[in-house]
Homo-oligomer: A and B are copies of this chain.
Amino acid sequence: MRCEIVAVGTELLLGQIVDTNSSWMGGQLAQAGIDSHFQVKVGDNQARIVDTIRRALDRSDAVILCGGLGPTQDDITREAVAEVMGVALVRDDAMGEKIRRGFEARGRRFTENNLRQADCPVGASFIPEMPGTAPGLVCPLGKQVIYAVPGVPFEMREMMAGTILPDLKRRAGVTAVIKSRVLKSWGETESRLAELLAERIDALDRTGNPTIAFQASGIEGLKIRITAKAENAEAAEAIIAREEANVRGIVGDAIFAADEQTMESAILDLLRERGLSLAVAESVTGGLVGARLTAVPGASDVFRGALVSYASEVKFDVLGVPEGPVISADAAEAMACGVRERLGADVGIATTGVAGPEEQEGHPHGTVFLGLAHGGSAEAVQVRLPGDRRRVREYAVISLLNMLRLRVSGSSRSPELR
């Protein structure tokens, strides 16, 4: 089963929008076991859209068109599909009414041109999922099929998950359920993880189910994806759960989260569970630690606040750091203790260092100190982080959060990036 993806929109060709939809869809198709050999971007031009669909149907079993389903004159995906199918577009009054009611429900002014979105090629049907105002289409063409979805990412995703992927799997004769879980790790290199898991991966290779794959995700560490195939969802989940236990047993506490969990949500959950509140002192990260923690709804029951002590005098005067070098383990430790006291929290964490491009206090850029004050003790460690200013800052944030996670959960693992 081959499925080609066609992204429609002149703004994509002009580079005004980056086409992230095709990438996401490509990932979903791969996971569902469906090949996608070509992905094409084409502008809002009917002849060229028609030509692109025809070429795609010459070499693939299915085509997903993304974009060009809106109400304006530029939105001509419907017309192009009807031309390829050799049928007329017919307005569906029930859908027109549904679109009109959708506008009313959102308190938005309805204009007549929105009814164009209710046009449907004869023989095609609307995709049941419709989180926005533009319906998607399923258009059978002999044994082949053309799908059309809006370019708005959340609308496209809901239609893919609800209708297109199941329909493609059915057409491909895939009756098995494929599920996967992503374990997120921090602190180990890809080669070290591969080494740790080599024996397990070899053993799995003999059966082919489940499988384990790695994916580097830069400043978010390395992901380990476990994928299982089974007759139904429960059986697939059970295979994954068994393998997850194996992997966690081997990799240990380098794993910080699974699936939708993030480092920050994992930390907030951990602190909440222990009844601990948190305060942060930031220098090199300039507010990024606080920003990440507060991106999670409900952070306020754990996170008291942060002090971004960028100027040295703020470190001395407000946080009570002893005068002296501020790029140092002593300063990081004093910052963690100071902010915990100043903001009245149970745990204080701190980071100070050199993001670059210039060196500071004789330290090269990438030198970062992480401090932590928890219970009766305080500690600080030095880490050396790679990359430019942006990357050093982002690595400093996740390194500090990871140190907090390790210490609060009682691990003595080094917070260093290996």
Q: Interface of A with B (CB < 8 Å)?
A: 12-20, 22-28, 30, 36-43, 45, 48, 52, 55, 215, 280, 282, 285-295, 297, 299-300, 303-311, 313-314, 317-318, 342-344, 356-358, 389-390, 393
Contact = CB atoms under 8 A, between A and B. Distances in A.
Contact of A27 (B15, B45, B309): B15
Contacts of A303: 286, 310-311
B297 A287 contact: no
A224 to B, nearest CB: 14
Nearest to A356: B297
A291 B300 contact: no
Nearest to A41: B39
Contact of A14 (B15, B27, B300): B27
Given A295-B389, A304-B310, A305-B314, A42 B48 contact: no
B23 A27 contact: no
Contacts of A306: 286-287, 306-308, 310
A290 B297 contact: no
A26 B14 contact: yes
A343 to B, nearest CB: 5
A42 to B, nearest CB: 6
A33 to B, nearest CB: 12
B299 A305 contact: no
Contact of A16 (B27, B282, B393): B27
A343 B345 CA distance: 20
Contact of A290 (B38, B286, B305): B286
A180 B41 CA distance: 26
Contact of A305 (B27, B294, B304, B311): B311
Nearest to A360: B300
Contacts of A24: 15
Contacts of A342: 318
B310 A314 contact: no
A308 B287 contact: yes
A48 B48 CA distance: 21
B48 A37 contact: yes
6 contacts: A15-B24, A18-B19, A40-B41, A282-B287, A285-B294, A286-B299
A219 to B, nearest CB: 14
Contacts of A357: 297
A25 B293 CA distance: 36
Given A38-B48, A305-B308, A358 B14 contact: no
A307 B304 contact: no
A48 B305 CA distance: 54
Given A41-B39, A43-B37, A215 B16 contact: yes
A350 to B, nearest CB: 13
A286 B297 contact: no
Nearest to A45: B37
B297 A358 contact: yes
Nearest to A281: B305
Given A304-B310, A306-B307, 13 more contacts: A13-B30, A14-B27, A14-B30, A19-B19, A22-B41, A38-B40, A286-B290, A286-B299, A287-B288, A288-B291, A297-B389, A306-B310, A314-B343
Contacts of A282: 287, 290
A37 B47 CA distance: 11
B295 A390 contact: yes
A291 B285 contact: yes
A42 B52 contact: no
A15 B43 CA distance: 21
A11 B416 CA distance: 29
Nearest to A342: B318
Nearest to A278: B310
A302 to B, nearest CB: 10
A12 B28 CA distance: 13
B38 A52 contact: yes
A22 B288 CA distance: 30
A328 to B, nearest CB: 17
